[in-house]
Every structure is written in C-alpha cells, then in structure tokens.
Amino acid sequence: MTTQACTRQTCRVLIIDDHDSLRRNLSALLEDENFVVFEAESGEQALTLLEQQELDVAIVDMRLPGISGAEFIEQAAARYPALRFIVHTGSVDFVLSENNRALGISETDVL
C-alpha cells in the first residue's frame, strides 16, 4: 500500500454497509466526485476484496452482519497498515472501542 495521500482521481475508497441503498447512494456520490469506489456488504466480503485490490480508505458501517465494523477495522489495519478508516454509523450512542482508538481512530473519524 502506498503511504502518499490520495487525490480524488487516484483515491480508491471501499464502502462497507449492509444496507444496499445507503451503500449505493454513497458510492454514486463519491463516483460523481471522481473517486474510485468499491463496495462490500459485510466485513468478510470487504476483507476478501482487500486481498484483491489495493485500497486507500474504508468507510465502515459499525453494525454489520458477521464480523462487526470494529472487528473489520482491527483485522484490516493489522493486514493493511496504510489503509485509513472513516466510521459511519446511524447510532447516536456509538462509542469507539479501545482497540479502534489504539489504531488512531478518533471521534473526528466518525460520521
């Protein structure tokens, strides 16, 4: 993985959300802004995609079927240290796990 900052034309974004409409709408918005976008509906599917594609940023829903978004972040960060994360959740009560905080994720990374 590259450690350089990506630009819109080169930034490869992975959107992980089990809600098709949310994932597709966010994908369309980012593609309209010239980002290269990949989609996954589960953490497991996203980990498989990471084995096949070099990606820069993952936008991660915290409530996923199978492994949670927090678990996905832990596993992905261990395997792909250059990957950056944006947490996306509809929960107003969401609290970052200590493991995610230890990876450098803070409240400013939560949407």
CATH number for the domain spanning 87: value is: 3.40.50.2300
Q: What is the Cα–Cα distance from 59 to 39, expressed in whole angstroms? A: 10
Tell me: pLDDT of 8 over 90: no
What's residue 75's pLDDT? 95
**Higher pLDDT residue, 38 or 86?**
38
Residue 9 forms part of a structural domain: no
Confidence of residue 14 (pLDDT cuts 50, 70, 90): very high
Q: Would you give the end-to-end CA distance of the chain in angstroms?
A: 25
Say how many domains are in the chain. Answer: 1
pTM here is: 0.81
Q: Does some domain include residue 18?
A: no
23 vs 66: CA distance, rounded Å? 17
User: Tens of pLDDT along 38-58?
Assistant: 999 999 999 999 999 999 999
